[in-house]
Amino acid sequence: MSNSFFGFALGPAAPTLNDFLAEVRAWCAAQECGTLEVEEEERDAVEVEEGAFTPEAPAVATPESGGDSGSILSEPIDWFDVAVAHPAASQFLHPRDSFWTFEDNKENIFRLCTMVSCPRCPASASPFPAEEMAQHLRSHCPPQGGMLVCSWLNCGKRCGDSGTFKRHVDTQHLKLRLRHCRYCHADTRYGEKGGHDANVCPRRADTLAGRGTSAHMAQNCSWCQAFMPPQYGFQADASRNFTAKIVGPGPQA
């Protein structure tokens, strides 16, 4: 795991899980009181010290967005109503259907397999790890003519086998099995030719030296802005199929 945050050193004081929870609770309280209205001109004028990491409000995915909204919560939420724990990392509390990303040791970015909700089930149904979505969706629609039919809202894709079906759900609906380069911001599907690891990206040197446009692009990139340092209580592994599974509690858990 790199000890940098998009080209800048994280610094000696890494954020902890409690820091994150305090930040989100404060954000929720501010939303409810209507005190979090900041004009874009003022936001652009704020100078952030290089190397500082300030968690933002969690981005929440929706079925309509295909699992990647890339946007900040627009409505007030009750943190304690939406926070769920991952079965492999009980200390990693996060809103269900939230979009967070993870960086591997080659500086690639993947969507983290957080807890998600089925778009076909009632809102009261329990969430489950994102990598289990394909298997769950099969329970909503039995095979038709020997074909597996995707029951995701407004989909209906027909697949000939379980492997193709899972690849469809993971890639098209959940944005799993995608590798994102934080230097050139290119996305590569698992098995797709022509992709590259971020640590050998041609734009890496210029980005780390502060040249080029990648740093500016990162400020508007939903994948880069959703980066989640592992200090928040989880360990993840993206060594198979570009899928960043949560496999255990983190160092601060």
Q: Which residue has the higher pLDDT, 219 or 162?
A: 162
pLDDT of amino acid 21: 63
Most confident of 22-36, 71-85, 120-134, 216-230: 120-134
pLDDT of amino acid 134: 95
Does residue 197 have a pLDDT over 90?
Answer: yes
pLDDT of amino acid 57: 39
Give mean pLDDT, residues 48-52: 39
Separation of alpha carbons 119 and 42, rounded Å: 38
pLDDT digits (tens, 9 = 90+) for 93-127: 888 898 999 999 899 999 999 999 999 999 889 99
User: pLDDT grade, residue 71 (50/70/90)?
Assistant: very low
Does residue 22 have a pLDDT over 90?
Answer: no
- Give the number of other CB atoms < 10 A from CB of residue 213: 12
How many angstroms separate the Cα of 6 from the Cα of each of 111, 210, 218, 225, 253? Answer: 16, 11, 8, 10, 24
Supply 232's token pair.
């928040």
- Give the number of other CB atoms < 10 A from CB of residue 239: 10
Separation of alpha carbons 107 and 200, rounded Å: 9
Supply 67's token pair.
């699992």
Separation of alpha carbons 28 and 85, rounded Å: 19
Give mean pLDDT, residues 33-43: 42
β partners of residue 178: 189
Of 1-5, 180-184, 191-195, which range is least confident?
Answer: 1-5
Separation of alpha carbons 239 and 161, rounded Å: 23
Separation of alpha carbons 34 and 27, rounded Å: 10
Q: Which residue has the higher pLDDT, 123 or 67?
A: 123
